[in-house]
Amino acid sequence: MANLHIQLHLVALFFLSSLILPSNCLPALHPKPPVALHPKSPVALIVFGDSLFDPGNNNYIKTTTTFQANFPPYGETYFKSPTGRFTNGRTIPDFIAEFAKLSLISPYLQTGHHEVLTKGVNFASGGAGALVETNKGSVISLHMQFNNFREANKQLRLKLGKRAARRVVKNAVYLISIGSNDYLNPLINNPSMFKSHAPQDFVAMVVGNITSVLKKIHREGGRKIGILTLGPLGCFPRLRLANVAAGGNGECLEQATALVKLHNPLLSQKLQLLQKQLKGFKYSYFDFFTVYTETIQNPPKYGFKEVKSACCGSGPFRGNFSCGGKRGVKEYELCHYPKDYLFFDAEHPSEAANFLSARLMWGGPSNVTGPYDIRSLFMR
């Protein structure tokens, strides 16, 4: 773990330096841009997932404020106004796009046209899960996100022709974050779910749905996948609050952590199997759990001052999901320096934490990012 300690510390210094340097100095902090695979077909970034990656797709669907972030104080650190991102600034895909010298990747439902696949597009939806039943009717599930991608690919073939469209889809890097809501939703809203399903069976169902979509992306022509494990869900402010509500002392909720410890190894096994089974399939597996656990255990070393409480929210640990005052709680607290916090709200990382993850995904040590890092996927 010593290598990871050094990497995390350097990432924290990079980000903190970027906060005090003029904006025209920022590119110097980023890695060298990748080489395009084909001069007429730049490498696109295509994103699927949940609120960790949603850039504002939920602004355009009939849902509730529970699954939206299009109101202050979201977005105010970087964009100076809310965009629909569930953080104070940029998300992980935003940083990955910057590192790859791409423009910010637009929400699919905002674009209104399908040729955006040539540059990249984001299908993610806050609250989405791998299971269709997760927050059904209020979000865009992973399977529906894939259907949107397939429709965009169909339109791309009509626009560019089959050969050129195939090259775009094959060269693209696919970034995925999914699964957290499949566990958080029943843990918070329906704990009895785990009385009727053995944890191992439930986890197998979630991971099975993820791998099913990965196979479908491959059948559409996608080859290069970057995927996040689940983080230490039990240590999120909302779950610490749940621990307090259950009579605990606010420590990490072990029931959630136990599910993550089943999910992540199984996902890793399935990815290794897919690499053997699917022609040309390459993946980058980011150990979100280890990175956040290390940071929570030693926050100053990685540039943070507060890793238990959220910057924005109410109640113990600001664990009530009330940031912005539009989720049923009018009064909420907001910290002065979001960059000091690992979590911006009860469930989502701050921009500083997103930078930490993105930088390690781009080129971190092999014990947290492998067998490929994201940069190498752009170059292959």
Opening angle at CA 255, ends 182 and 348, nearest 5: 55
The catalytic residue among 345, 350, 357, 373 is 345
Which DSSP state fits 52? T
Q: What is the residue whose two structure tokens read 């797709």?
A: 57
Please, what is the angle between helix 92-99 and helix 351-363, to 10°? 50
Is 113 catalytic? The answer is: no
- What is the strand order of the sheet 369-371 is part of? 120-122, 45-49, 173-177, 224-228, 282-286, 369-371
Q: Are 368 and 287 in contact (CB under 8 A)?
A: yes
Q: Is 5 a catalytic residue?
A: no
Residue among 348, 350, 357, 373 flagged as catalytic:
348
Nearest Cα to Cα of residue 37 among 92, 80, 100? 100
Q: Which of 51, 125, 138, 357 is catalytic?
A: 51
SS3 sequence of 340-364: HECECCCCCECHHHHHHHHHHHHHC
Q: Is 336 an active-site residue? A: no
Residues annotated as catalytic are 51, 345, 348
